[in-house]
Amino acid sequence: MSCLNTISPTQLAVLSTSIAIVISKDKSPEEINVLGNLIASIGATMLSIAAQKEALKSIQDKKDQIHDLKKELNGLK
């Protein structure tokens, strides 16, 4: 997956379009709709997972910051 972090936005768009064309080839409109909705659902779920991971990391960072500040305060006493 690291290769996806190094390609340009334009290359990513071309890759996405190419994959969609290949997957859709010789499929009925109904099949394309089902596949498209499945892929969209997978994407939405992945975005939810990423958002929750970021939220949990932010909470942990704040807890760590509070812990560090308490240690500093105790050191000043």
pLDDT in tens, 41-76: 999 999 999 999 999 999 999 999 999 999 999 998
- The number of folded domains in the chain is 1
pLDDT score at 1: 67
pLDDT score at 3: 85
Q: Find all residues with CB under 8 Å of 12, minimum gap 6, and list them.
A: 4
**Rounded Cα gap, residues 27 and 32, in angstroms:** 6
Contact (CB, 8 A) for 24 and 32: yes
Where in the sequence is the domain holding 62, given as residue range(s)? 2-76
**Rounded Cα gap, residues 47 and 53, in angstroms:** 10
Segment 5-19 shows an average pLDDT of 95
pLDDT score at 10: 96
Report the chain's mean pLDDT, rounded to a whole number: 96
User: Hey, what amino acid is at 9?
Assistant: P
